Copies of this chain bind each other. A is one copy, B any other.
């Protein structure tokens, strides 16, 4: 049975060998950086990755209670009284201190993973759907550009309607809120002033829109188009549903 202090060389060795370190312990945690935080004593799971990411989880909840972004320097301050992990990110001016009382279990091992996650159903997928199938907005809509990073902002879809009126479409993959309306308003105003035209159509495309946002949208003369981001894996999804007997 290892004593808490005995884990120091294990951690040092694992860090040197670029292993992932996983342990459970009773500890307190201090953080100082963009904000300040303190977490009193309790059992937590600590994950240290080969890129020196540090993630601390309590036994409930989706999010880590404390963490350090990749690239932290990790020092072990180990003596008869204390077992402390001092983590610093000098460029971000962030400091994390884990005071470890007892380690419940410890593991370190090398991980091999070259995969990148593939995600679909994003806002960009929505913009592409509109660009290649402009009739989902309305008949006669002719897109000119998509995902354009101009000095006027990042405009999702930009084109002319059947009456050759300049039209800006802002996509949201989730329910559109007040800030989405204001984003659209910002783009419309910038395009109006830069092109020197008095009217530009603004369309907010999203699965739905909040009541207050819809009111503001109408006040500003913009339009809402109900549209859901495409999920190309839906075939898989249906298969899964069969498999999992939903």
Contacts and interface: CB of A to CB of B under 8 A. Distances in A.
Given A60-B70, A233-B32, A237-B32, A118 B24 contact: no
A57 B65 contact: no
Nearest to A121: B35
A17 interface: no
Contact of A244 (B50, B86, B121): B86
Interface string A160-201: 000000000000011000110011011000000000000000
Interface residues of A, number: 74
B57 A47 contact: yes
Interface string A73-99: 001000000000010100000010100
A40 B115 contact: yes
B50 A55 contact: no
Interface of A: 20, 22, 24, 29-30, 32, 34-45, 47, 49-51, 53, 55, 57-62, 65-67, 69-70, 75, 86, 88, 95, 97, 104-105, 107, 109, 111-115, 117-122, 173-174, 178-179, 182-183, 185-186, 229, 231-234, 236-237, 240-241, 244, 246
